[in-house]
Amino acid sequence: MTDIVDKETRSRMMSSIRGKNTKPELAVRSYLHRAGLRFRLHVRLPGKPDLVFPKYRTVVFVHGCFWHRHKSCRFATTPASNTVFWQKKFDANVSRDAAAKKALRKLGWRVRIIWACQLTPKKLESLATRIRGEH
């Protein structure tokens, strides 16, 4: 299937996708702050975690299902055009995520990941409990 927009338009659209302060990230931050958890943003740690909870030695990544390849998720699709490029990009993202997770654990941090498709009150409450170490 061919793209519905020209190459330059698609490039501009893809380059405008933000890496910080995304809607899912803001939703998680808002919920956890209301739950009484205080965190730091954009701390220079391996993988650049979205939220850092120094008190609990925990970091949280808010992953988009498309970019980070959430298994069995309907949002983790591969574009029909230029599939070799996209598969290479997705593989690099997944391997970079795994390396960051391993490096953070080696430094003594607990790593939590929440997927954009899982932003429900129940999942967020579970995340808050896991951050506090009350699991």
* Identity of residue 127: L
| Model pLDDT for residues 55-94, shown as the tens digit of each residue | 999 999 999 888 899 988 888 888 888 889 989 999 999 9
Q: Using CA atoms, how far apart are residues 13 and 85, in angstroms rounded to an integer?
A: 17
C-alpha 28, offset from chain centre:
11
CATH number, residue 97: 3.40.960.10
Any domain includes 76: yes
| Model pLDDT for residues 90-107, shown as the tens digit of each residue | 999 999 999 999 999 999
Any domain includes 118: yes
Q: What pLDDT is attached to residue 80? A: 82
Span 102-113, average pLDDT:
96
Instruction: Give the chain's domain count.
Output: 1
Q: What pLDDT is attached to residue 5? A: 76
Any domain includes 12: no
Range of the domain at 32: 21-132
